[in-house]
Amino acid sequence: MKKLLPLSLVLFLGTASGVYTQERADLVEAFTPSSAMLFVKTSPLKKLVESANFAAGNILSRDLADALKKKREEFKSKTGVDPLDVESLKKAGIDAERSASLALYPPVGSHEDRAVLFIPVKDEKTFPLKFVEILKKMSNSEKLDLYPVITEYRNHAVFQIQKDIFTTAFDGVFMLASTGELIQLVIDVKENNSGYLSLDPLYMDYTGKTAKNYDLRAFATRDFLKQALRFRKKINDRLREREKKPEPEKSKGEAGPYTLGTMSFQLIYAAATGGDGTLKKSEPDFSAGPSVFNSVEYASLGVKVKPTDVAVDLAVKFNNTSTRVNTFLDVIKTGMSDKAIYVNNAAAYAFVSVDFNKLEELCKSPGAECAYYAEFKNKMRTELGIDLSTDFIPYYSGVVNIIAGQPKGAGGGYLIYLPLNDPGRGKKLWDTIAAYLKDKFKGTGRFGTAKIGAADSFWYIDSKDSKIYLVCDVRGLYIGNDTGLVAAALSGRPMKEAPSGDLLVKKLDGNVFSLAYARKESLFGALITLFAYRHKEISRLAEGMADIYMVGKKLDFYVSIDTVINLMERK
């Protein structure tokens, strides 16, 4: 199966746009065995090729784009097929109007790599032998015996090439598997008309919640995440060994041998563990009982690339086996966007809504997330002289609203708005903080009062020598370092009264718990650019970014984070 990796990658490179029509046999889930732990589906291949070419020219890092170009040229020179040219694919017998798919299965015995690749073809009867010819050209060896052994299983021809390449074809789809047992399983599912993926309850839940117009869609079960975690030590050990050895010289444009794999597994680990992907002393609980890890039902990924934007959507579906996870999900509060305020032409904007009473309940027992929360509460006690648990949370809506103006030096203008449910308690809290700071900075010149518009405010100089203003009105507390931005927020309308055509408003619904937006010219945009400078694999994407949106939603046990990076218009 490893010999076919270049061909497999070709069919999955890139992304496309639009809503796709379904043509014959495009629903391969109707004969994909439901035991798949990962299922990836593309857009129609002609769309995939279009977006792959756009990504190579505008989004992928230059090193990766050069490596892709080199592989493409090498494949074309050997086989006569250009994998990133629609007409060339059609001449090779591939149906570019339909989607390709890949299914990974749990290892069995010595078979660790168990996978089936589904390729749409124009003629299922002739393509298996055409594929053999392509393999022969790829091998570039007259001595290598690639002539297939042809057998029959339940009236379907099965082709075996050497030890680990098995193929069959029906319903306009060519199937390529790493074991004969998998090919037989696909045929059994087809002939028995049962046990296929589209009837799996979790997969049905996934397809009911995800959009259909992604260019790449991935559905990953808990078993896949477990396999990724078990593989973590091997990857980390390999990375440690590489750190000990000097890097070999690479020719210009050559990607390192583990660039893609390492990056992919690090992303998988971070998503599965909520951490940074480094090896921990204790492994997750893989038993069948309740645990944080076993509360995950499935995870999904959707990717779409257009000349105007790049969209990446991540989601996780949980179950109710873990009390801690249930409480954590309760902390995520939806339907509170009307408490946020709208400030026109903000350079950056964010809000998140949290049920702090549930967070207090969650943090009665120790946990990594609660250590940060305890540290924050201690800071508020020493910085502002308030006890969050008694002075603030009982009267707080749970919405944290962050707004930034254009950058001003290294700090930039920012505002934090905290809407309260009790105006009277808000004024009392403001007075308490003012009295504490006045006493704390007595005789230092680091505290004073001021008017912002018609509103009373006080200011103090914090530990970083920044001048911070605090204002209170009937809606809540305003904390910021820029009087103009504070004034704009004080006169700002509730989010529900914002102009209906505004992109921020268009992204809101009753399931939203967080929303973030940043222009490239903002301080947050500058931080993204700096991050990209240190991570060259995303540098070209950051260079072409105009602005970025991130929306978090929760529906019962389903949590998603959708990101859209709008690209600058290309001349």
Looking up tokens 């997750």, which residue turns up?
284
Read off the pLDDT band of 264 (50, 70, 90): very low
- DSSP state string for 178-235: SSHHHHHHHHHHHHHT-SBGGG-HHHHHHHHHS-S--SEEEEEEHHHHHHHHHTHHHH
- pLDDT attached to residue 140: 72
Mean of per-residue pLDDT scores for the chain: 82
Q: What is the largest CA-CA distance in the chain?
A: 93
Instruction: Of 155-159, 340-344, 352-356, 538-542, give the lowest mean pLDDT range.
Output: 538-542
Amino acid letter, residue 116: V
- pLDDT attached to residue 453: 87
| Cα 369 from Cα 359, distance rounded (Å) | 10
216 pLDDT higher than 90: yes
- pLDDT attached to residue 24: 36
207 pLDDT higher than 80: yes
- pLDDT attached to residue 501: 66
In sequence order, the β-bridge partners of residue 551 are: 515, 562
User: How would you write 15-48 as a 3-class SS string?
Assistant: CCCCCCCCCCCCCHHHCCECCCCEEEEEEEHHHH
Domain boundaries, the chain: 2-214, 322-567
| Cα 295 from Cα 316, distance rounded (Å) | 10
Determine contact, residues 315/300, Cβ cutoff 8 Å: yes
358 pLDDT higher than 70: yes
Predicted TM-score (pTM) of this structure: 0.81
Give the C-alpha distances (Å, rounded to integers) separating 78 from 73, 75, 154, 303. 9, 5, 35, 31
Amino acid letter, residue 282: S
- pLDDT attached to residue 346: 82
Residue partners of 5: CB distance under 8 A and separation at least 6: none
Give the C-alpha distances (Å, rounded to integers) separating 546 from 207, 523, 540, 549. 31, 13, 12, 11
Nearest to 296 by CA among 320, 318, 314: 318
Read off the pLDDT band of 20 (50, 70, 90): very low
SS3 386: coil
496-526 pLDDT tens trace:
787 766 777 777 888 999 998 888 777 677 7
